[in-house]
Amino acid sequence: MNQPIFTASKQREFIFELIVTQGDTTPYGSASFINYIRWYNIARDALLAWKNLGFQENLKPLIETEVSFCDIQYKREAILQDEILIKVNAADIKEKGFNLLFTLIRKDNALLISLGKQKICFRNSKTADVVNLPENLVKNILTPIAVDEKSLLFKY
């Protein structure tokens, strides 16, 4: 039986675009590291909000996104007015959680600025229970951008 062949050209990702603003920068003109946390959170929430995630109606007001672990690596500075792209992929999708991998590059020349990773689950803020991932989220949002982390060029 023919197996689908995975190639880099078939890799899909969610892309979010930002510009480095005055308030992001240090006295030396480059964006401070704290922004990388904020930018990755914005990209994550843009991904997880752009479609109906598939939670039951009665759960929707109670569900919150929880990041139990985040890791960020600096590769190169981002400076004022740089247009940057954050590429987001999913990995290690399980019943109750998944990872998001972030690749932050400069838009005009694709230079790598930072890599990030978040371990994510959804918690019922009232009962504190971690809830199963909705099928819709897995099928329509995470799987299309899923990668095998071990096969990637970068170590997140």
Partner 1 sequence: MKTFNSGFDIYFEDLSASGKVHLEKIGEWMSMTREQYFKSSCPDHLKFVESPIQMFTMGLSITVTGTCRWADKIQAILTTANIKKISFEMHIDFKNERTGNVIAKGVQKVAFVDVIAKKFTNIPDNMKQVIVNFTNL
Q: How far is the CB of 82 from partner 1 (least distance, A)?
A: 17
Binding characters for partner 1, 106-125, by CB under 8 A (x = yes): -----------------x-x
Rounded Cα gap, residues 53 and 138, in angstroms:
9
Interface with partner 1, residue 46, by CB under 8 A: no
Does 155 sit near partner 1 (CB under 8 A)? no
Among 17, 19, 49, 64, binds partner 1 (CB under 8 A): 64
Of the pair 71, 83, the CB lying nearest partner 1 is at 71
Report, in Å, the least distance between residue 36 CB and partner 1.
8
* Per-residue CA distances from 23 to 79, 113, 116 (Å): 11, 18, 21
b/e map of 93-110 (b: 16 or more CB within 10 Å)? eeeebbbbbbbbbbeeee
Pick the stretch among 7-15, 69-77, 88-96, 98-106 that binds partner 1 (CB under 8 A): 69-77
Check: CB of residue 116 under 8 Å from CB of residue 156.
yes
Residue 126 Cβ, how far from partner 1 at the closest point, in Å?
A: 8
Residue 6 burial by CB count (10 A; 0-12/13-18/19+): exposed, middle or buried? Answer: exposed
Q: In the beta sheet, which residues pair with residue 103? A: 87, 115
Query: Which among 58, 38, 60 has a CA at the least distance from the CA of 137?
Result: 60
Indicate the residue among 106 and 117 with the shorter CB distance to partner 1: 117
Residue 42 or 140: the one with the smaller Cβ distance to partner 1 is: 42
Q: Tell me if 37 contacts partner 1 by CB under 8 A.
A: yes
Q: How many CB atoms lie within 10 A of CB 82?
A: 18
Per CB under 8 A, residues contacting partner 1 are 28, 32-34, 36-38, 41, 62, 64, 66-74, 123, 125, 128
